[in-house]
Amino acid sequence: MLIRARAPVRIDFAGGWSDVALFTEHSKGLVVNGAINRYAYATLRCESQTTQDDSVELQRILDKSIRIYSADFDTFIEADDVRQLEYDGNIDLVKAGVRRMSIQIGGFDLITQSNAPPGSGLGTSAAMGVALVSVLGALKEATYLPYEYAELASTIERHELGILGGKQDHYASALGGIHFMEFQGEEVKTSPLRLPPQIRYELEKNLVLCYTGQPRLSGNIHQNVTTAYKSADPSVRDALETLKATAEATKTALMRGRLTEFGELLTQNWRNQKKLHPSVTNEQIEQLFKIATAHGAIGGKACGAGGGGCLLFYCEPTREHSVRQKLEDAGARVIDVNFDFDGLQMWRVSNY
């Protein structure tokens, strides 16, 4: 039997960084983001089908080993027992999921894959974590609410693996849709932005998402920004406050259908992202922004922590095709996306 799950990645419009735990301890974080139709997939395979040789089936049932394969990195590991899984830089997120979910049995395979680029800034690791806890929970016959999947996946990254980051990615992946999110300490409030169809269609048409071809190392950038914040750098603290104000304004612009203003707010957010640390941008990113702006982009920002990965632009209604073409001419890869409103989905396959 196969247990499968898929969880969408997200594009963040405004307020990113303000959801990071270090910052939410002292001040409320505000974020606007949207889940998109690029997914992280997790498959758990338990061999329970009938075989001609009963001894083969019995051997499989008694088998306590675990096999994990990451299709994205073409990496395979095998352990004779769950307790042998050690963090060594190879597929640690999957190992951490097995540990945190208190999986005591073996005899199964885990396969992970994503159709978002590596290091894209789209929250792929969070989406993978959400998909993982879904299939592992199903193995335990446990049932969770969407926010519980998000919290479990966030806990795995932050507490099992010590990854610096916030919760917006996990909640976007578990819930789907376009949301305004508030973060205070460990508390999270999510409010869906139910845009009229014509506003959503126009938004989807005029957004251009491109991959720079350079995966970013978000851990390094997070450490840089964290160090600057802890040193009480006033420019960093001011930038974080402006990012939150931008998220509030972005929420209002979307709800009122003011999409040109929305595009301008992307740039406002980007300016303040760059104030957090010089590593948030680089020469290639700046050049792609110049190209997009010159050919019809109203505004834009880097996704996630920045430093590489994906860039998001909102374009003039009749010029997005020109922006797409010029970005591709410059070596970027344009990714076609629509919003995902389903969030985490899990299903079983009996015959395969």
User: Please, how many CA atoms are within 13 Å of residue 80, restricted to the half-sphere of its CB?
Assistant: 0
Burial 5-43 (b: 16+ CB within 10 A, else e): bbbbbbbbbbbbbbbbbebbeeeebbbbbbbbebbbbbb
- The distance of Cα 330 from the centroid of its chain, to the nearest Å, equals 26
Active site residue: 12, 19, 169, 340, which one?
169
Number of residues in the chain: 352
State the sign of the Cα–Cα–Cα–Cα dihedral 11, 16, 21, 27: negative
Distance between CA atoms of residues 282 and 302, nearest Å: 11
- The distance of Cα 159 from the centroid of its chain, to the nearest Å, equals 18
Distance between CA atoms of residues 220 and 236, nearest Å: 17
Q: What single letter denotes the amino acid at residue 245?
A: A
Residue 340: active-site member? no
Secondary-structure breakdown of the chain: helix, strand, coil percentages, each rounded to the nearest 5: 45, 25, 30
Distance between CA atoms of residues 207 and 212, nearest Å: 16
Distance between CA atoms of residues 292 and 282, nearest Å: 16
Alpha helices in the chain (DSSP H): 21-24, 54-62, 92-100, 124-139, 146-155, 168-175, 197-206, 218-230, 234-255, 259-276, 283-294, 320-329
Per-residue tokens: 6: 């898929």
Q: Which residues are catalytic?
A: 169
